Amino acid sequence: GTQVFAAAHLELALQELRMLTATLTAALGFSPGVTRLPNGFAGTALSQHALTPVASRSAASSGLESVLAPLLEQQQQQQQQRRALRAPSAAMVATGGMGGGLFTQSNPEDRRVVPDEPGDRQIFKVVYVVLESQYQSSLSTACKRINAGQEKVAVECSGYILEELRDPANFEQFKKDVADANIFIGSLIFVQELADKVVEAVEPYRETMDAVCVFPSMPAVMRLNKIGSFTMASMGQSKNVMLDFMKKNKPSGTSFQDGMLKLVRTLPKVLKFLPGDKAKDARSFMMSLQYWLGGSPENIEALLLNLASTYVFESDLLTGEVVEPPTVIPDQGIWHPVAPRVFETNEEYIQWLRNEHAPTIGVDPNKAPVIGVVLQKSHINTKDDAHYVALIMEIEANGGLVLPIYTGSLDFSKPIEDYFFLNGRSVVDTTINLTGFALVGGPATQDHPKAIATLKKLNRPYLCAVPATFQTFEEWKDSELGLHPVQVALQVALPELDGAIEPIIFAGRDGVTGRSIPQSDRIETLAKRAIKWSNLSAKKNADKKVAITVFSFPPDKGNVGTAAYLNVFGSIFEALKTMKAEGYDLGAELPTDVEGLVDAVLHDKEASMASPTLNVAYSMSVAEYKELTPYAEDLEENWGPPPGQLNTDGQNLLVYGVRFGNVFIGVQPSFGYEGDPMRLLYAKSASPHHGFAAYYTYIEKVLEADAVLHFGTHGSLEFMPGKQVGMSGGCYPDRLIQSTPNLYYYAANNPSEATIAKRRSYANTISYLTPPAENAGLYKGLKEVGELISSYQGLRESRGASIVNSIVATARTCNLDKDVDLPSEDFDTAELTLDERDIIVGKVYSKIMEIESRLLPCGLHTVGVPPTAEEAIATLVNIASIDRPEDEIDGLPRILARSVGRDIEDIYRSANAGNLDDNLLSENIKEAIRAAVRASVERSTDAAGRVTEVNPMMASLGAVLGGGSPMLSALKKQGFDKVQDPDLEKLFGYLEFCLKQVVADNEMGALIEGLNGEYTLPGPGGDPIRNPLVLPTGKNMHALDPQAIPTIAACDCAKVMVDRLLERQVAEEGEYPESIAFVLWGTDNIKTYGESLAQVLWMVGVRPLPDSLGRVNQIEAIPLEELGRPRVDVVVTCSGVFRDLFINQMNLLDRAVKLVAELDEPLDQNFVRKHALEQAEEFGVSVRDAATRVFSNAAGSYSANVGLAIENGGWEGEQQLQEQFTSRKGFAFNADRPGILDDKADMFKSSLKKVDVTFQNLDSSEISLTDVSHYFDSDPTKVVGSLRTDGKKPSSFVADTTTANGQVRTLSETVRLDARTKLLNPKFYEGMLKSGYEGTREITKRLRNTMGWSATAGAVDNFVYEDANDVFIADEEMQKRLLETNPNAFRDMVTTFLEANGRGYWETSEENLDRLRQLYAEVDDKIEGL
């Protein structure tokens, strides 16, 4: 047997163990030969029963009653014992208060064992620390057996769960216990800061203890091992006596781990050949490991008595027999709690299941779904299997059959291959992994490609449920955070990389005994959902019911079908056509075009949202609603009695949408509080309203949908109140989705919010492509400036001055004087030298090229329509422009610059400074890249302008009339004649791979596969330019291992951006800022692998370091001499999504701030300490507690609601927005109390009032400042201005790393750039208008978001509103187009202009305002049908 968690966590530890055993003969001078087992360990002193590792479960079971009776009795005893032993401890809550903020409040005293009647027996003392609690019961039972059964010795035992050592009182008691101990045992100590505590406590007493036995843990803890003369003193160190052997026998992945397990299994045979006089202690350790992995109380009893008889007592106090080879259950098999034995072939098990078991439980084996269940063997060994038994019984009670497999290996793909297939076909309909770990290799050395290959072959939904290992059941239940962050990283994030879905908590540990407690309501949910997934593969398509859900955000008739960069109704129309072809029943009256589909759902596009004129698919009476919605009463606290005010006709609850046969297209209701100023101020989000609950009740209970498809990024379901991860039955996402399988189209560039949907609403996400990005181009006056500069290049010496005067005048009309320092209006540039004129022209050219080359997503994506060749070229141009050092691929800009003897960074730097020649060279490089990429793609473009088959790009080099490849020819035409094909070969080989990814399309295929109950291939989300592995889309999207960031590359990029920011601030203000406010986003940090996270660390002067497992969870302060500047204080506002995904990194940031706050450094060189000292005095707390700088929402809440207020007009003034920000974002993370987020609004405000600079990051072209409301929702610029006592407005900067030439701009510069490239750019708005209804809404959204920046930062120039008014309102033809495509969105646009003027953000003529007022009345009348 084995302990999966043990072997999985630390390859290094196991390497050392394997290496040690493999080299015993050589290193210790052993020679082969049969030897007698040494008395010392064999125990001439132990009974046969105590000594032999045994199977954890008897081979026979007399039936269900024999399993259940002791379980029920045991649970009753545990509950009584818990009540008797302790009063209920304060539960861990996420919002502060009781509990000390630790992840577990269990009491180590509950598991202390002392002999009742020691008499004159000699006592030995044992102390243990374990990560998982299933060993706790075996240890306690073993000690009680010793005390009851041994005549001359007794044992005292004190035990600790690793997490308990965070509590100072526990840690002090632990140190006292260790000081008196004879034997210390540790296992699975893999959390760095707790490993440090174990070493701190044990190391001083290591030499005086009789035995220290540490099983796989961090190297520093493994070095504590001491069994007689056996040690691991060189563990993990560079100068290792066995280093050469390790290099020659480098293990890899699970093959190594399996080898270790094989070694353990064959150990009794191996031991016979080792001489007793030299190998006793090494053999003692290896045999101890064997007993430990056996896990049962009998094994642990043998372990303790053997160690005591050999190392604690000088004389034999015990009697016994010689050791026999261990008896264990098979290392791999099929285990069912009521089966007569463990089965080693699926033929035998299936025969028993069908012929004996199924008839007994009344299940028809020919119709029942079969659920494959993967178990952890250590729970079977330790008899800690109640949670497994409960789930198996629940599935069977729901009419399913179970195929439960286990293995002692870490490669769970092997038993899946061996047992889930029969004659090459899958015998299971759904798989549930109950280990909580990645399928191959566990948490430390995963082999995701192998896991994915196995699961794809199986081709069934793959669920990975989670036992709450680190918390007691009560703590998890009472926690708003939910699942322990370390466990989220190990047992949720890593399995997601295999394609796992539905991380449902199905068990928690008992606080007293440590045994697993089945969570009955969670097990019921898990069983029902698994069976629902299974039914998808069994049902005929014609019989399946599917609920397609669209969103309306903000809630308005013109916004139905909202989704990021997605043509929702066009995509649904394609999906309906595909589903009809697949045999789904869509009724007789399917619309013939997209417009007809829109009309069917909206009923009347010109009707208002306030009246029930969306098509009503179902009217639900209040009585039916209450009967079918068990939690309806809980909603009354926030919304009053049903039906309420939303989604109702006053008597019934209304479900909006339309049915086509078995397919329902419904409109998800809104949050409900968007326009209510008081609700927007609440620090915690309200429950869903009755209409929202009725919608999902309809899907589950009335429609009885087999699956729901949420269409596009994103809705409200996954952001409803509840735990962050590890939903309970009281969390609203869980209550709402119930048992319906959830398929969810999510934008490929938004993996963070997609991950929230996966974890909180159990979504199987399907990624869709965002529109390809093209250069924004120039238009109107900007185009004229460009043409003038082209003229200047040829006439600079003859007519240069007059042309420059025209350039300056035209640039002024385009408002470029706000970005470029231009001569005054009446200045004649003839007075300047040629070089001075060149500098002016160069700066203007640099700015318009910045606008021209800014990447612009064009139009909206339609699911199932792959990109054209032109769209593929646009994407490949951007991919080709980036260096990829990890693949040793230089980007084309670097290759071209090198060919003319230049460095690309020098060209960028010089061009940014205004050098005209280098601006022209930079532009020529961009044009050459476009030409070369076009030439490469044209080789594969068909007559329809699409790429259906990709031809090799670098084939037949030099064969084209001897002139080289088409790409080379294109570059030579652009003047780059020194480039050769070998320079291009590696890059274009990569681009060929990328082109195949770009044009491959499985978005619609993945939907059909999901509805068929098949496995959806997983893949990373993010920016396809930075990471082309995001493509092709149609994957079950995942984020990344949260403990892997920031990467070294991210730290390097972060340093560059921080240094540029500080340089600019010093240049403009003359001194370093004392404090900078950062905003951290989940998606940005996934895409950039932690760049903004690393920026915060570099700002305070802290370096992140990996631990011995390569996980980034250690830090060190950079000396001031090396830093070369003061440490700048920070105030970090984390988005709710960042909090959910990266709470371990919040821990890292808080530790970093506290570390530097406690450094004894001059206050003018350490602003963190300076401010912490001031706040310590202000609040009467310690400096460490005053150094609180990492803030977010309360658990289960998201955003500051500023965006909601602005989108819906539901705000009275800026003061309200600022109060929303500080009240909703003022929950502090504290690394010393990591289990809670304290409401620290006062500390938040105190820190913000010291801020000199606010700072955000843009990381990809697809989402910029005005594309979404998130950026201004979390921007604290005006908040800081209102809090500062000197009335000074902070500087605001944005780092833009969307191109290879990263920039730091002011917020106003960035808003201007965004407006010029999107809202005011014909290329953008004409592209949007091609999408009709949705396109008009997208234009309006950007205007509304632009106003958001006026409200939160005052960052919008008047000309932006003025020019937008000229484009969309003053032009009557444009008015007509907008009104016809989406009258509601057009009315919102008119409203936004009037609101911007009314709130003082836009000064304009009375003529413009009169036109707007008249337009509003006309549009309103038209919408109301007057």
Cα–Cα distance measured from residue 834 to residue 359, given in angstroms and rounded to the nearest whole number = 97
Summarize pLDDT for 4-56 with one digit per residue, the tens.
333 333 333 333 343 333 333 232 233 222 222 223 333 322 333 333 333 33
Q: How far is CA 957 from CA 611, 899, 981, 984, in A?
A: 67, 19, 7, 11
Mean of pLDDT values over 373-380: 89
Q: 276-294 and 253-265 are packed helices; what angle lies between their axes, rounded to 10 degrees?
A: 110
Nearest alpha-carbon partner for 735 in 693, 763, 707? 693
DSSP state letter for 952 = P
Cβ distance 1116 to 1122 under 8 Å? no
Give me the pLDDT at residue 981, please. Answer: 86
pLDDT single digits (tens) 163-176: 889 888 999 999 99
What's the DSSP call for residue 1231? T
Mark residue 445 as left, alpha or beta (left: phi above 0; alpha: psi -120 to 50; beta: remaining).
beta
Top pLDDT among 615 and 262 is at 615
Question: Which sign, positive or negative, has the C-alpha torsion 575, 577, 581, 585?
Answer: positive
Percent of the chain with pLDDT over 70: 85
pLDDT tens by residue, 1159-1171: 999 999 999 999 9
Tell me what pLDDT residue 17 has: 43
Contact 403, 346 (CB under 8 A): yes
Tokens for 835, please give them: 């070089």
Instruction: Tell me the per-residue pLDDT of 995-1030, one tens digit each, with 9 for 90 and over.
Output: 888 888 899 999 999 999 999 999 988 888 888 888
Q: What is the pLDDT of residues 1084-1093, one digit of tens each?
A: 888 888 899 9
Among 282-286, 804-808, 1107-1111, 1126-1130, name the one with the lowest average pLDDT: 1107-1111
pLDDT of residue 714: 77
Type of residue at 554: P
pLDDT band, residue 830 (cuts 50/70/90): confident
Q: What pLDDT, on a 0 to 100 scale, did the predictor assign at position 22?
A: 35
Over residues 970-984, mean pLDDT: 89
Mean pLDDT within 1315-1337: 87
Mean predicted confidence (pLDDT) in 679-686:
58
Asked whether residue 1256 carries a pLDDT value surpassing 70, the answer given is yes
Q: Which residue has the tokens 């264990």?
A: 328
Residue 1141 tokens, joined: 């995904």
The predicted pLDDT at position 24 comes to 35
Is pLDDT at 726 greater than 80 in this prediction? yes
pLDDT at 151: 86
Residue 918 pLDDT more than 70?
Answer: yes
* Torsion angle of the four alpha carbons 919, 922, 926, 928, in this order, in degrees rounded to the nearest 10: 110
Q: Which two tokens stand for residue 1238?
A: 């304290």
Confidence (pLDDT) at 674: 56
Q: Which of 201-210, 408-417, 1031-1040, 1220-1229 has the highest mean pLDDT?
A: 201-210
pLDDT tens-digit series, residues 622-643: 999 999 999 999 999 888 999 9
Q: Sign of dihedral through CA atoms 1188, 1194, 1199, 1205?
A: negative
Of residues 253 and 864, more confidence is placed in 864
Average of per-residue pLDDT across 1232-1237:
78
Residue 914 has pLDDT above 90, yes or no: no
More confident residue, 771 or 152: 152
Going by pLDDT thresholds of 50, 70 and 90, the confidence category of residue 241 is: very low
Q: Which class for 454: exposed (0-12), middle (13-18), buried (19 or more C-beta within 10 A)?
A: buried
pLDDT one-digit tens code per residue, 1033-1085: 999 998 877 777 888 888 888 998 999 999 999 999 999 999 999 999 888 88
pLDDT at 517 over 70: yes
For residue 141, is pLDDT > 50?
yes
Are 1106 and 1279 contacting, i.e. CB atoms less than 8 angstroms apart? no
Q: pLDDT band at 96, cuts 50/70/90?
A: very low
pLDDT band at 1211 (very low <50, low <70, confident <90, very high): confident
Q: Average pLDDT, stretch 1294-1319? A: 88
What pLDDT score does 444 carry? 56
Tell me: cis bond preceding 771? Omega within 30 of 0 counts: no
Q: CA 211 to CA 184: how far, in whole Å?
A: 7
Distances (CA, A) of 768 to 231, 758, 765: 55, 16, 10
pLDDT band, residue 1236 (cuts 50/70/90): confident
Q: How far is it, in rounded angstroms, from Cα 706 to Cα 182? A: 60
Is the confidence at residue 1347, as pLDDT, over 50? yes
Using pLDDT thresholds of 50, 70 and 90, give the confidence band for residue 680.
low
How many whole angstroms separate alpha carbon 118 and alpha carbon 128?
21
pLDDT category of residue 318 using cuts at 50, 70 and 90: low
What pLDDT does residue 1240 have? 92
The C-alpha atoms of residue 389 and residue 63 are separated, in whole angstroms, by 12
Residues 638-657: tens digit of each pLDDT: 889 999 888 898 899 999 99
| 62-66, 253-257, 490-494, 1148-1152, range with the lowest pLDDT | 62-66
Write down the pLDDT at residue 306: 87
Phi, psi (deg, nearest 5) at residue 1177: -70, -40
Q: What is the pLDDT of residue 856?
A: 78
Rounded CA separation 739/521 (Å): 12
User: How many CB atoms are closer than 10 A to CB 623?
Assistant: 9
pLDDT at 683: 52
pLDDT tens digits, 527-539: 999 999 999 999 9
> Do residues 1279 and 1248 make contact, with C-beta atoms less than 8 angstroms apart?
yes
Instruction: Give residue 750's pLDDT.
Output: 84
* pLDDT at residue 698 tops 70: yes
Other Cβ atoms less than 10 A from the Cβ of 850: the count is: 22
Q: Is the pLDDT confidence value at 675 over 70?
A: no
Mean pLDDT (the chain, rounded): 82
**DSSP string of 161-214, one letter each residue:** EGGGGGSHHHHHHHHHHHHT-SEEEEE----HHHHHHHHHHHGGGTTTSSEEEE
Other beta carbons less than 10 A from residue 148's beta carbon: 11
> What number is the average pLDDT over the span 366-373?
96
Task: Please report, for residues 396, 515, 518, 1027, 1043, the alpha-carbon distance to residue 468 in angstroms, rounded to integers and kept in the order given.
Answer: 23, 11, 10, 34, 19
Residues 183/126, Cβ–Cβ less than 8 Å: yes
Distance CA 1134, CA 1083 (A): 12
Question: What amino acid is encoded at 27 in this protein?
Answer: A
Q: Rounded to 5 degrees, what are φ and ψ at 731?
A: -80, 135
DSSP 1292: E
> Using 50, 70 and 90 to split pLDDT, how confident is the model at 556?
low
Helices (H) and strands (E) in the chain, counts: 63, 37
Report whether pLDDT(158) > 90: yes
pLDDT at 502 > cutoff 80: yes
pLDDT value of position 1375: 92
Task: Indicate whether 62 pLDDT > 50.
Answer: no
Question: Span 830-841, mean pLDDT?
Answer: 87
Answer for the pair 30, 274: CB distance below 8 angstroms, yes or no.
yes
